[in-house]
Amino acid sequence: MLKKSNILVTGGTGSFGHSFVKMTLEKYNPKRIVIFSRDEMKQWEMAKLFKDDSRVRFFIGDVRDKERLYRALDGIDYVVHAAATKIVPTAEYNPFECIKTNINGAMNLIDACLDQKVKKVIALSTDKASSPANLYGATKLASDKLFVASNSYSGSESTRFGVVRYGNVMGSRGSVIPFFIQQKETGVLPITDERMTRFMITLEQGVELVWKAFDNMVGGEIYVKKIPSMKVVDLAKAVSIDVKYEFVGIRPGEKLHEEMISAEDSVYTYEYEDYYKILPAIHRWSEDPLRINGGRKVPKDFKYTSENNIEWMTINTLQHWIDENRNKIGTM
């Protein structure tokens, strides 16, 4: 599907964008991948990594600017929407700005993709969008709803929208692993709560889930990757056992345990080999055989949380991953 196509990635200079561009160029050989983002310095740094590849293009712009999106989407076949204000405390203290990017920006992108006849759009979501306890999660839930409902406006032969949802991306910029690695030099690792758990996913798994969604989607589905959980205390131990652990309390907007599928969503959720799929509740699309596509209905009141997960990452497994990826951690 993506072979010889034109792809645009909003927020493409982030951790996901770097991995998506590299992996997609190797696997699908698209005609071009356009990086749409607002930070010229990050674009400059990324351009140096792909300086010899004419398939990679850069476009300065902001999802808050609808006219700029229309220009960037000219001739584009597929869109990955990764642009977001996503740091939880930042969103709590700057709610208006978070809403402008995560909700208004999503609306702008949807309108522009519909009018420019883009074939398919995948929006990146987060475990914080399920039963949100913070503003970031609430805006991403609203964004998810917008992308799902937008399939109602696109007609039978036009743009299709889908969503992928996953948890903590291991080693990405601003995430807990590079923070702990940097912080261990002080001899103290701050841990919010000894009970806290998080979902763990690699960037490669995140990219592969987007590919799966592009290939599989009919429109309006939310794809949830099956991934392991880990206790934050164990994560700290994987980084270093020769430091002091200081319990500092939960930050504004944080949850003890993350959730990717709520009991309310389970009514519309189907299970597959390595992922779940939440089908749209509107228009009885949750009963559509094409969208179900061989899935098995999850049990009544099913919840997929980092606390009740059946798959757990061990300290040794994470230590091995850190050793193999040490040069990339925090730079991806």
Which residue in the list 22, 86, 128, 140 is annotated as catalytic?
128
183 burial via Cβ count (<10 Å: 0-12, 13-18, 19+): middle
Strand order of the β-sheet with 78-81 is 56-60, 32-37, 6-10, 78-81, 120-126, 160-166, 222-225, 275-278, 269-271, 296-297
Computed on alpha carbons and rounded to an integer, the radius of gyration of the chain in Å comes to: 19
Q: How far is CA 331 from CA 50, 171, 325, in A?
A: 16, 8, 11
CA 216 to centroid of chain Cα atoms? 17
Provide the token pair at 216: 């599989």
Q: Which residues contact residue 129 at a Cβ distance below 8 angstroms, ignoring those fewer than 6 apart?
A: 137, 140, 141, 143, 144, 165
Give the separation between CA 17 and CA 54, rounded to whole angstroms: 17
* Structural contact between residues 11 and 82, judged by C-beta atoms closer than 8 angstroms: yes
DSSP 8-state assignment for residue 151? G
Q: Is 128 a catalytic residue?
A: yes
Task: Return the ∠ at Cα 166 (arms to 162 and 171), rounded to 5°.
Answer: 130
Question: Which residues carry out catalysis?
Answer: 128
